[in-house]
Amino acid sequence: MADEMKPVVKSESKEEAPKALTASELVDGEKAAAKEQKEAAREHREADLAAADKIEKMWVESGREDDSVVLFERDDAHPDGEAFVGGRGIPEHVARTAKVEAGLESGELIESHEPEKPKDEKGKE
């Protein structure tokens, strides 16, 4: 038997090579991508802040006898975005984060009460 030759079928659709982008188009694409990343980061930050507002707040103070710092933490959940606790008898308002919980469990932090507001000469806060 002779080898049969199969006819070559040409595709009806013509696929063109991808068009090369100009420098201006590349820059515009990069700007658009950067804008999308900034928007996504902003949305993520807003979600983090909303979640941080829901975390329980409490008053704590150092459980140590000396003036050592027992907690320094930056977290949006804390009032003003950070917690700094050191020095016995100085209550600090903090969020109940994992680090605060660990400090309470170890005794480095003790739960406290809101300090009294100073009164003026007329006895008003």
Over the stretch 73-118, which tens digit does the pLDDT of each residue have?
Answer: 999 889 989 999 998 888 999 999 999 999 999 999 999 988 887 7
Tell me the three state secondary structure of residue 23. helix
Question: Does residue 78 form part of some domain?
Answer: yes
pLDDT at 10 (0 to 100)? 58
Q: Number of folded domains in the chain? A: 2
At 27, the pLDDT band (50, 70, 90 cuts) reads confident
Question: Does residue 60 form part of some domain?
Answer: yes
DSSP 8-19: PPPPSS-PPPPP
Question: Does residue 121 form part of some domain?
Answer: no
Shared domain for 75 and 93, answered yes or no, is: yes
How many angstroms separate the Cα of 110 from the Cα of each of 22, 27, 92, 119?
64, 55, 11, 26
pTM exceeds 0.85 for this model: no
At 18, the pLDDT band (50, 70, 90 cuts) reads confident
